[in-house]
Amino acid sequence: MLPFPLPLGSPLTTVTKVVASGVNNCRKPHIDAGEMDSCIDRIKESYGGKYPDKTVEEVKSLGRIMPIFATIILYWTVYFQVHR
């Protein structure tokens, strides 16, 4: 018997599934878009979706951070090429 529970899934597959489901729901017309900020909000359990609200918010925050990481990688790539 293991002292720790077995992992249930990969974070990468979870993010991929949430984004894919959000894109698919964005194509469908939605009648009541009241307080939703984006199309990905439609897949939250509180709006009748199948993913927990916390998971969707984590994926949204990851999407906001990715451009910063991409910019940093490009900056350091150029920096090291110039100073050699």
Q: Is 1 within a domain?
A: no
pTM of the model: 0.73
Q: Is 59 within a domain?
A: yes
Q: Is 4 within a domain?
A: no
Q: Is 64 within a domain?
A: yes
DSSP class of 30: -
Quick check: 82 and 74 in contact, CB under 8 A?
no
Number of structural domains the chain divides into: 1
Strand-pairing partners, residue 66, are none
Residue 16: what pLDDT?
Answer: 93
Q: Is 49 within a domain?
A: yes
pLDDT band at 36 (very low <50, low <70, confident <90, very high): low
Residue 34: what pLDDT?
Answer: 61
Encoded tokens for 81? 């090429």
Q: Is 6 within a domain?
A: no
Q: ∠47-35-19 over CA atoms, to 5°?
A: 55
Q: Is 5 within a domain?
A: no
Task: State which residues form the domain around 16.
Answer: 11-25+36-82
Q: Is 77 within a domain?
A: yes
CA 11 to chain centre: 10
pLDDT band at 31 (very low <50, low <70, confident <90, very high): low
